[in-house]
Amino acid sequence: MKFSIAVIVLMYVAIVFSQPADYVHINKIIAKLEQDQIVTGMWSSALHPSNAAGLVEANGFPTAEEAISKPMLDYILIDMEHQPFDVQALREFILALNSKREVLIKGNLQPNISVLVRIPADGNQPVHACIKQVLDIGVHGVVVPHVRSAAEARRIVSACRYPQTEDSPYPDPVGERGASPWLASYAWGLSMPEYVDRADVWPLNPKGDLLAVVMIEDKEGIENLDDILDVKGIGAVIFGPYDYSFAAGYPGQTTHPEVAGKWNHVKSICDRHGVPLVGFGNPDNAKDLLEQGYQMLLCGHDIRLNHGVPQVLDIITRYIKN
């Protein structure tokens, strides 16, 4: 039997980069995306340990299999762009999210709720310090607002990565994150070497557990989105319709045809690159978003639960069953 060079190369790549069957991502967002499951999140602002415990309890205590297959709150996005960049409160909140009961029932260290943080620095501003601060506490990914170019995207990915070893199969973009993994490793339930091994960006590193998310909110960002998504290590995209409405000259008019049209344009580019675009879900549009192929949803707010998180989860449950 003869094999073409291309087939041999593909077989080699599959062998080298395949993960063990029992490999469990710490980052639940990544675990569900890899299994083509719908990922549901919520904005979070109340960084009190009691709120952290309440979010854990609200999900119940599913088994490892249920946690992947059952619609539930999979992640929270903590906004520190328009709210205080309070690293101390964030640290206490992250530690309070750790549940011994959750670990016992699941039988693994993957929390049911992953944590993303939107940092205050825009893509064209110095981002390294903000990213380092939140990653060192143990969050699972960062969201950077107003990303406008591939150069900015590369800086974001570099800020998330530790410097690579000389024999690293994923040398680019070069990591520039300062090394002090003790608290993050504690929060993840790992030794420091184990954390360092996992603290890389996905999908650039298939075993990585960090998610680098860019926000597209400006005309330049849309014009350069193909180049931005060519940067290895960008895990997801959020389109900011409110900010874009200002950039487009229609302040606050998020349903204006210019804004809605650009949202659809961003979705088509993300689909072409195979990068998930986060959809803002509510009870009125959740089914439509699912039918449009959105795999990541962001629904409601922890201080305004009546905005539909439970209803959206119910819609997703019925959508999956049908």
Per-residue pLDDT at 80: 96
pTM: 0.90
Locate tokens 């999956």: which residue? 320
Residue 45, pLDDT above cutoff 60: yes
Beta bridge partners of 301: 43, 304
Compute how many other C-beta atoms are within 10 angstroms of the C-beta atom of residue 11: 11
Residue 155, pLDDT above cutoff 90: yes
Locate tokens 């998310």: which residue? 213
Helix H or strand E segment including 133? helix 128-137
Q: Token pair of 135, please?
A: 């990653």
Residue 64, pLDDT above cutoff 90: yes
The 10s digit of each residue's pLDDT in 242-283 is 999 999 999 999 999 999 999 999 999 999 999 999 999 988
Q: Token pair of 85, please?
A: 């960049």
Locate tokens 């689909």: which residue? 271
Torsion, Cα 98 115 252 255, to 10 degrees, reads: -110
Q: Residue 2: which pLDDT band, with cuts at 50, 70 and 90?
A: very low
Q: Residue 8: which pLDDT band, with cuts at 50, 70 and 90?
A: very low
Per-residue pLDDT at 303: 73
Q: Residue 314: which pLDDT band, with cuts at 50, 70 and 90?
A: confident
Supply the DSSP string of 267-301, one letter for each residue: HHHHHHHT-PEEEE--TTTHHHHHHTT--EEEEEE
Supply the DSSP string of 148-197, one letter for each residue: -SHHHHHHHHHHHSPPPPTT-S---SPP------HHHHHHHT--HHHHHH
What are the phi and psi torsion angles at 59 (to 5°)? -75, -15
Per-residue pLDDT at 18: 41
Q: What percent of the chain has pLDDT over 90?
A: 83
Nearest to 43 by CA among 20, 73, 23: 73
Nearest to 218 by CA among 137, 149, 290, 117: 149
Rounded CA separation 301/247 (Å): 25
Residue 59, pLDDT above cutoff 60: yes
Residue 110 DSSP label:
-
Judged by phi (left if over 0) then psi (alpha if -120 to 50, else beta), residue 71 lies in beta
Per-residue pLDDT at 315: 86
Per-residue pLDDT at 12: 33
The 10s digit of each residue's pLDDT in 102-154 is 999 999 999 999 999 999 999 999 999 999 999 999 999 999 999 999 999 99
- For position 105, which CATH number holds? 3.20.20.60
Range of the domain at 37: 5-321
Per-residue pLDDT at 1: 37
Q: Is the model more confident about 7 or about 93?
A: 93
Rounded CA separation 186/294 (Å): 33
Mean pLDDT of the 292-298 span: 96
**How many whole angstroms from its chain centre is CA 40?**
11
| Cβ 195 vs Cβ 188: under 8 Å | yes
- Domain total of the chain: 1
Residue 90, pLDDT above cutoff 70: yes
Q: What percent of the chain has pLDDT over 70?
A: 92
Residue 6, pLDDT above cutoff 60: no
Q: What is the mean pLDDT of the chain?
A: 91
Name the residues annotated as catalytic: 82
Compute how many other C-beta atoms are within 10 angstroms of the C-beta atom of residue 155: 23
